[in-house]
């Protein structure tokens, strides 16, 4: 048979005896159900056993850091703008090191609204946000589902739960992550910006984040 149904036929084909009895069709459906049941009997026993997902699995996010421990994020709002679920909230602050420009004073992700599409990872120009293979996300309240910097930042020296997942630059694929604007360690309060303001090379300070007092 070609698989093409002639809808112009006025007299439909008669059902066979097996089709009219319905029993063979019911047994065929039960065969599929029982097949899934038997296959699941040999499945992994969660949480003692866990499935090994792909290296590009899209799980919980992490914020990457530089060698000096500071966030790579420069609060450019690219990920926030790219997010289709509008679950990312960023408040920018002026970084004390001029080479780093800005940094996120607030970086929150609402995990209940996140659709784990990875658009934020693709949009980031600094390779500052990755996704892990951690899928164990359970909350008792909406407040617990708001992940801030303290829950998103990658802890240096500690293994990432579940391992790394989706990210734009994979070892061995020929791509090179973007480099930081400066490799020198950050020295908070080094006076670099204040000196430039005194020389008239920077505009008057205007705070862009809560908790930063304006300077005269």
Stretches where the chain sits below pLDDT 50 are: 1, 182, 184, 186-188, 205-216
- Size (the chain), residues: 216
Q: Which helix (H) or strand (E) is 104 found in, with range?
A: strand 102-110
Q: What is the per-residue pLDDT for 192?
A: 62
Q: What is the per-residue pLDDT for 193?
A: 62
Residue 108 has what DSSP assignment? Answer: E
Q: What is the per-residue pLDDT for 150?
A: 95
List Cα–Cα distances, 197 to 21, 67, 95, 200, in angstroms: 89, 29, 15, 5
Q: What is the per-residue pLDDT for 13?
A: 75
List Cα–Cα distances, 122 to 79, 81, 84, 155, in angstroms: 8, 12, 13, 22
Cα separation, 71 vs 83, in Å, equals 20
List Cα–Cα distances, 104 to 144, 161, 216, in angstroms: 20, 24, 23
């Amino acid at each position: 048979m070609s698989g093409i149904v002639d809808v112009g036929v006025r007299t439909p084909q008669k059902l066979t005896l097996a089709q009219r009895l319905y029993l063979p069709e019911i047994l065929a459906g039960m065969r599929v159900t029982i097949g899934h049941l038997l296959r699941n009997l040999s499945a992994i026993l969660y949480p003692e056993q866990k499935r090994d997902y792909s290296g590009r699995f899209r799980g919980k996010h992490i914020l990457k850091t530089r060698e000096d421990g500071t966030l790579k994020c420069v609060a450019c709002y690219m990920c926030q703008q790219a997010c289709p679920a509008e679950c990312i909230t960023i408040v920018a602050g002026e970084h004390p090191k001029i080479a780093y420009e800005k940094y996120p004073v607030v970086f929150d992700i609402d995990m209940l609204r996140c659709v784990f599409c990875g658009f934020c990872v693709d949009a980031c120009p600094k390779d500052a946000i990755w996704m892990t293979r951690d899928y164990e996300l359970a909350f008792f309240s909406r407040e617990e589902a708001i992940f801030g910097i303290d829950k998103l930042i990658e802890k240096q020296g500690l293994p990432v739960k579940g391992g790394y997942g989706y990210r734009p630059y994979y070892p061995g694929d020929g791509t090179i992550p973007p480099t930081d604007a400066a490799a020198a360690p950050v020295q908070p309060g080094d006076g670099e910006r204040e000196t430039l303001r005194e020389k008239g090379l920077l505009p008057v300070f205007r705070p862009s984040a809560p908790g930063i007092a304006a300077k005269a």
